[in-house]
Structure 1
Amino acid sequence: MNREWKKVFVYGTLRQGERNHHLMQGAELMARQAWTDGKLLDTGRGYPGLLIPGEQQVYGELYRIDKETLARLDELQADHRREWESSGEYRRIRRRIQTDRGPVEADVYIYARVPASGGAAVPYGDWKAHHLDGQREWLYFAYGSCMDDERFYDQGVGEHFRDVVGRGILKGHAMRYTLPRPDGGRADLVERPKSVVEGKVYRVGGQALKYLFWREGVDGGTYRPAWIPVEIEGKTVENVLTFIVIHKGKETPPPEHYAREILRGSKDIVSERYHRHLRRRLKKRFGMTVKV
């Protein structure tokens, strides 16, 4: 008997590393970096709700699921409706979901109307941003120029980046230069199923976090904070902070000084194989030979 499959976009507690992800057992992850237009509301009950229309980009994950999994998700949303003591608040609709490989039509659970009790907008359109509250330290995965600590010390924040955990490995992504600047491209993570990105993992506190949000232009809509699973010393750690370009452009060659920071900062952290890959790709893709 052929199994019936559906595509579904999840943006809250069903995501990897969240408390209800066990309900996705048997689901096929199609895209870890997925988003749709709307507004993400914090219900104050430990889970969010998606409102449409809205001008915010709401981030989540795209899955392929069978009817048994879909039934579990429907029941979860029914439980949420009962918590609100109202009917019809959640409903499942078909909606266009964006991914790094193009748009996909998928089911998504939305609020049909704003609950009478209201609710605050979730910052950055990402439910995992709630991990920012109540924490004193975070693991941060640097894959670009932040692997090099020279600028940290030049800008007087070096002391906040002294706790280096070691090499991190992010699977299913590639590093590309998709952020155009007048002097060349800047690094970004792009989802690619068979690719791997290696980087430098720091343990950081509040002052480092404040600096990173400024440096990455989060408030200006340049990069967004994202939480990813990173392999560290053979163990996968969920919800590691990194930053991803919001509006990706055509890949452009980085300026030489920027490429040098990446190569210099990664040299004693990433594997020799990955370091060669970074150098070879600069040569093959852009004709750049960068001395470190």
Structure 2
Amino acid sequence: MMKTLFVYGTLLKHEKDHETFMKESSLFATSAWIKGRLYDTGAGYPVCVVSEHYAVYGELYEVSDETLNKIGELEEGYDKQEIDVMTDQGQIQAIAYTVGEQKASGLKEIESGYWKEYKLWQRKPSSFYYFAYGSCMDDARFKLAKVDHYFKQIIGGGALDRFTTRFTLVRPDGSRADMVEDGGETEGVLYEVPFDAIRYLYKREGVYEGTYRPAFVDVTIGDQVYQDCLTFLVLKKNEEIAPPAHYRSEIEKGADLYLSEAFRKKIRSHMDSLIKP
């Protein structure tokens, strides 16, 4: 019998315990979150405390009883519980391994609630991959902000499974782009950028204001898969409306340079179909 499991630390895709424990499990949601707070144990893995007003981000899997038993041994000392998990397709009940507040006392809180993002900031690599699917496919605003030198290394147009480009961030003049995990496929531009670019990206995407949140996705270009590329997803998704003309223009310019003809037609048709504000 299959069970649903929420993971948020070393069992995440590409993390150190994933291949050992999760290789036979089926990914249900790449973008999933629970109400909780995340802490760094200092031993190479995090712990999660259930907490009403905060979020912990992770992935959702369908796992066998055998896999769950093995994970139970790995998570010895944790509380195994059924918990509500949010996804782009709605809420689902799943198993999660958490700890009580007392066990997290004295540990460093991971304020973003996201282990992969925390590790990126801890490592501070010389460069990382960044996947743009909205206005950042065009360099107009990079030039205006005088940061275009960060975005010169363009790997190319890439494809992303499981997600569809949508326009869920509603503003008075129209919407802004988002990716929704609905089983579709989208395209965008993959950059390799120096670590110094991350502060500009966080500011532009309104991460600290709660507009977009960081996420990590696998992007395919030709036969090569680029793992754990940083991208940004809208936190509070609304019903779509059409983007403003200047924003649409930036998307179309980037798409015309780097993305497939089929995708360019699809995104234009979708934008045409949306109600204008």
TM-score by length of 1: 0.90
The answer (yes or no) to whether the contact 1:164–1:200 under 8 Å persists in 2 is: yes
Query: Match for residue 143 of structure 1?
Result: 133
Query: Match for residue 109 of structure 2?
Result: 121
Matches within 5 A, 1:187-226: 187-193=177-183, 195-226=184-215
Displacement after TM superposition at 1:93 (Å): 0.3
Which one-letter code corresponds to 2:11 in the other structure?
A: L
Residues 1:239 and 2:202 are matched in the alignment = no
CA distance, structure 1, for counterparts of residue 275 and residue 104 of structure 2: 55
Which one-letter code corresponds to 1:118 in the other structure?
A: G
Which one-letter code corresponds to 2:24 in the other structure?
A: G
CA distance, structure 1, for counterparts of residue 194 and residue 53 of structure 2: 31
Which deviations, in whole Å up to 9, do the C-alpha atoms of 1:238-282 show, x marking residues without a partner?
Answer: 210000011111111111110111001121101111111111112
Specify which of 68, 84, 89 is matched with residue 96 of structure 1.
84
- Name whichever of 167-176 and 277-286 sits farther off: 277-286
3-state SS, counterpart of residue 267 of structure 2: helix
Query: Match for residue 108 of structure 1?
Result: 96
Specify which of 41, 44, 48 is matched with residue 43 of structure 1.
41
Query: Match for residue 85 of structure 1?
Result: none
3-state SS, counterpart of residue 102 of structure 2: coil
Displacement after TM superposition at 1:59 (Å): 0.6
3-state SS, counterpart of residue 9 of structure 2: coil
Q: Percent identity?
A: 40
The answer (yes or no) to whether the contact 1:7–1:65 under 8 Å persists in 2 is: yes
CA distance, structure 2, for counterparts of residue 5 and residue 93 of structure 1: 16
Residues 1:255 and 2:249 are matched in the alignment = no
Which one-letter code corresponds to 2:29 in the other structure?
A: A
- Name whichever of 19-28 and 182-191 sits farther off: 19-28
Displacement after TM superposition at 1:237 (Å): 1.9
Specify which of 20, 27, 30 is matched with residue 32 of structure 1.
30
Which one-letter code corresponds to 2:9 in the other structure?
A: G
Matches within 5 A, 1:16-31: 16-22=13-19, 23-31=21-29
The answer (yes or no) to whether the contact 2:47–2:104 under 8 Å persists in 1 is: no
The answer (yes or no) to whether the contact 1:8–1:108 under 8 Å persists in 2 is: yes
3-state SS, counterpart of residue 177 of structure 1: strand
Unaligned stretches of 5+ residues in structure 2: none
Which one-letter code corresponds to 2:169 in the other structure?
A: L
Which one-letter code corresponds to 2:134 in the other structure?
A: G
| Runs of 4+ with >6 A deviation | none
The answer (yes or no) to whether the contact 1:140–1:241 under 8 Å persists in 2 is: yes
Displacement after TM superposition at 1:116 (Å): 6.8
Query: Match for residue 161 of structure 1?
Result: 151
3-state SS, counterpart of residue 238 of structure 2: coil
3-state SS, counterpart of residue 112 of structure 2: helix
CA distance, structure 1, for counterparts of residue 101 and residue 53 of structure 2: 16
CA distance, structure 2, for counterparts of residue 121 and residue 168 of structure 1: 34
- Residue-pair matches, total: 274
Specify which of 175, 184, 190 is matched with residue 185 of structure 1.
175
Specify which of 45, 66, 69 is matched with residue 68 of structure 1.
66
Pairwise CA RMSD: 1.5
Which one-letter code corresponds to 1:196 in the other structure?
A: E
